[in-house]
Structures are given as C-alpha cells and as structure tokens.
Chain A
Amino acid sequence: MTGLPTGFAARLTKAWTLLYTSGLPADRRTARREELDSDLWEHETWGAETGRRSGTIALEILWRLVAGILADLSWRRLEGRLARSHKHRSVGGETMNNVLNSTMVALTGVVGIASVALGIALTAFGDGEQAQGGLIVVAGFLILGGLVAMSRGVRGARGIVAVGTIVPAAMTIWSIVTPLIAIAICAWLVASARSSAPRPVPGH
C-alpha cells in the first residue's frame, strides 16, 4: 500500500513529532505521537483507496508537516509550560535553561527538516547540483537522527548533530546566516554536553 515517497514523508513526519514532543510528560507525548501515527495511516490508506499516486500523497503529507511546524512549536511551548506549572518548579535558572533547551531543540529540528527539503529540491530541480543536494539531505537526516538519539540519551548523538549542522553551513558559508546558526547550535551542543556530564563528588 505504502509507496516509497509516502513512506519517506510519513517517516519524516514521525521523526519531527518524536523530536518536538521529546521531554514532555509521557501521557502528552504518547497521545500526540499516536494521534499523528493514526492520521498518517488514515491519509496513506485514503490516498491508496482513491487511487492517488504515492508522490502526490507524499507531497500532501510533507505540506501538512511543513505548514504546521509553527503550530507544533507553539503547542510544544504551551505543553512545556503546563508541565512545568504542574510540577511547581518554574524557578530562576532552571526555567531559563528549559526555555533555552526547547528553543535550541526546535531550531535544530527546523534546520534538519529545512536541510532535507532543500537537499531534495536541489536533487530534483538543481542544475548540476545533485551531489550537493544529496549531501545536504544526508546532513539533514544526521541532524534529525542525532536529535532523536539525543532525546534517548545515546552517546555520541551530539557529535552526529554537530556534523549534520556543519556540512550544510560549510556549503553555504557565503550566506553568513547558516554558519551563524551552525555556530549557535554547536555552542549549545557543547554547553548541554557539559551540563549533562556526571559531576565529581566532593572529597573523592
């Protein structure tokens, strides 16, 4: 039933959902992910039943993903705020760290998705830029995969995100903006690695 393009679009949507729901309370996180899984399944099934081409369904799914990113981030911010207020721990530096962390995760996720989309566009429509496009797609997947791995506490995940971020930035260094974003993401990765590293116990 599922064609290659549709499967790819669905997986990309699931990866994005996995990313922006990470860190939320389990019930909220699971509910959103299951609801999206159901939506994607219904979309694919309906598309197949109505005889639509796999590429058309994939474009519809990708459009629904991209057009909803801002709403996803806004929902995530609201849910994060609700979760923090329930835990009564929204004080000072911790709240600031949480906000910064969520913002950087969201920014990195957007960079990952944008890289995949740009890479696909270059591969499909670029004039002799297929190799570059392919590299950017790989970089985008490294970013997204690395973020998912980070949310699961996999060692080395930050390095994967960093490599994925640096590659497209190096290729578009003339734009100034992308290298700056890459520097900000790498600085955040280093800072978050330090803050999550085990601290020495005094007296040992």
Chain B
Amino acid sequence: MKRKPGTLLPLETAILEAALDLRGRGAEQFHGFAIARRIAEHTEARTMTAHGTLYKALGRMERAGLLESRWEDPQIAADEGRPRRRLYEVTGLGAQALSRAKTTHSPPRLYDERGLAPS
C-alpha cells in the first residue's frame, strides 16, 4: 500500500496503540499473538489479525525504526515448554509517530462533500 512518508497505516496505528496499552499494564515487550489478541479486544473485532498481515506489518515497522525486536533466551522458552518468542518493543520514534498521528492526523477523507477525491 502506498502512503505518505511519516504517516501510519491503520494496522500500524492499532499495533502501536495496543503495544503502548500493554506497556501501561506493565508489559514492556510483546509477542505477535499478544498484540493480535489485544487489537481484537480493543477493536471488539470477531477475528484476529491474519498471520501474514500481522508479521509483515511488524517487520515493516521494525525496518522503519518504530519497533525493535529480539529473540528471547531459548532457555526460558525451554523451561516453560514452548517455542521461543520474538519480543517486540515500541521505540521512541514509534511512540512519537503514534502521538503525532493522534494529534495532527485526522482520519483520512477519501471523498469530500461533492464526492470528489482530494487532490
């Protein structure tokens, strides 16, 4: 999807909002499923974000510097008997981008009152 530089796609906004919400609840880092679940709860959606859509977005956001990720210690995962998690964290840039999107970016208007697309 094409977009203006510095703007966030709706899913990216949802990921950042959910991640900061989790941070507010004490979870500094999150893994993919946790964020998919939080977004679904937050938006009251009946389905969770698709695997492909979610992980593609997380990768894109990491490349853009909005998120950082690291793999957890394999020993922790082994002790808990589960696959190891890739843990993401919102960067300062990510928090700024969300804040800017919330304060300066009104919802996009696809058409004006006359039904014309904005130039």
Contacts and interface: CB of A to CB of B under 8 A. Distances in A.
B56 interface: yes
Nearest to A63: B47
A38 B85 contact: yes
A32 B52 contact: no
A42 B85 CA distance: 9
A41 B49 contact: no
A132 B56 CA distance: 36
A38 B82 CA distance: 7
B31 A64 contact: no
Nearest to B55: A35
Nearest to B57: A71
Interface stretch (B15-23, B32-40, B95-103, B108-116): B32-40
- Assign chain A's interface to a size class: 20 to 34
Interface in B40-76: 47-56, 59, 71
Contacts of A67: 47, 50, 52-53
A60 B48 CA distance: 8
Report which residue of A39, A70, A73, A74 has the largest number of chain B beta carbons within 10 angstroms of its beta carbon.
Answer: A39
Given A42-B34, A43-B33, A68 B53 contact: yes
- Which of under 10, 10 to 19, 20 to 34, or 35 or more describes the interface residues of B? 20 to 34
Nearest to B86: A35
B83 A45 contact: no
A35 B54 CA distance: 11
A53 B9 CA distance: 34
A190 to B, nearest CB: 30
Contacts of A63: 47, 50
Contact of B51 (A39, A41, A45): A39
Given A37-B83, A64-B36, A71-B50, 15 more contacts: A34-B84, A35-B32, A36-B55, A39-B36, A42-B34, A45-B82, A60-B47, A64-B48, A64-B51, A65-B50, A69-B52, A71-B52, A71-B56, A74-B52, A75-B56
